[in-house]
Amino acid sequence: MDTFDDIRPFNDAEVQEAMSRLMQQPEFDMALTMLFPEMDEQEWLPLLQSIKTIHDFQSKIIAVVVRKIAEDTCSDISISGLEHLESTKPYLFISNHRDIVLDSAFLNYLLFTSGFNTTRIAIGNNLLKRPWIEDLVKLNKNFIVQRNIPARQAYEYSLRLSQFIRHSFENDLSSVWIAQREGRTKDGIDKTQSGLLKMLGMAWDDNPEAAFKHMPIVPVSISYEREPCAGLKVRELYLKDKNGSYEKLPDEDLQSMQTGIMQQKGKVHFSCGKPLDEALIHSCFKDVSRNEGYRILAEKLDAFIQGAYRLSAFNYLAFDIINESFQYASNYSDADKSAFERHFKEQCRFSDVEVEELRPWFLKLYAGPIAVLNH
């Protein structure tokens, strides 16, 4: 694992030193206080000092925190499809990407409470804005994906990342979670980047059939009734369309992380598909170039993720408003219309953009999951 020191999560031998650093960070203490205002430092200290292993950290800290977030911000959180999986077998979970933190955090929590091992989680280095955040995520089995690699170094880095993921499966028997694309979906349309799949196959000499035989892919469709950071997402799309580009502020990712955690999300569901079998993988690459095969495989993942997305009243309503139709009118009520309007104004009222300017983008975000199915 020394080969992957700049990528890998912590191991058990590194836990106590990392915990000592975390406990000295005022921002970490503030985060705990924000999540658990009823507890003071004297209550937290013995618990933090008892953390000796990664499992300790995930079971005593992360599971408690994620359960608290779910109780405070979700009306329901559920998972389906685990009956297709073996609890002791490692899988490659590839999902749509709607929230920076909670997509993987909720999935791992649901796996943990269902008797499955948690996954190693891919996270971009652009999100590690503070040294203590890097300690936190590496304690939580996150591995680091470097963003904005110079073109001449991209191949070598992608190969090492692929080799680390292969090492996770073959040497550590660890499942891995990775988003289907770089960056969150902001228009409601979930699409898999074929380049991601190609990266995963690089460690097997770009032999996808060998790669995905040893790393069985489980497609996961994550559905949020209320889109995380909806107001921030549509503001970004609006400004990018208006100005031709968009440059994030220095702490914008941190704001999105905090906002996604704290906002109400309604019903949240994770739908896990059956692991993609060898016959399906073979059919994607039969008689075509590898690049074309990766594109076809991406389409297979999209078909499941888009098809398994659980549509809400807000999705149906937004689609009908955009299309000036009543096609899905039976799926929402007048109360839903009022709730959607309140949701829109609450999400966009703090923006530096005129609220009504954001309405078309907001509607597209919620209509996207239906629009892509009707395309």
Q: Tell me which DSSP letter residue 223 carries.
A: E
Distance CA 80, CA 269 (A): 8
Answer yes or no: are the C-beta atoms of 232 and 259 closer than 8 Å: yes
Check: pTM over 0.85? Answer yes or no. Answer: yes
Domains (range + CATH), the chain: 2-228+263-310 (3.40.1130), 314-374 (no CATH)
Q: Tell me which DSSP letter residue 74 carries.
A: E
> Which residues make Cβ contacts (< 8 Å) with residue 292, sequence separation at least 6?
none
Residue by residue, pLDDT tens for the chain (375 residues) are 568 999 999 999 999 999 999 999 998 888 888 878 887 777 888 889 999 999 999 999 999 999 999 999 999 999 999 999 999 999 999 999 999 999 999 999 999 999 999 999 999 999 998 889 999 999 999 999 998 888 889 999 999 999 999 999 999 999 999 999 999 999 999 999 999 999 999 999 989 999 999 999 999 999 999 999 999 999 999 999 999 999 998 889 999 999 999 999 999 999 999 999 999 999 999 999 999 999 999 999 999 999 999 999 999 999 999 999 999 999 999 999 999 999 999 999 988 999 999 999 999 999 999 999 987
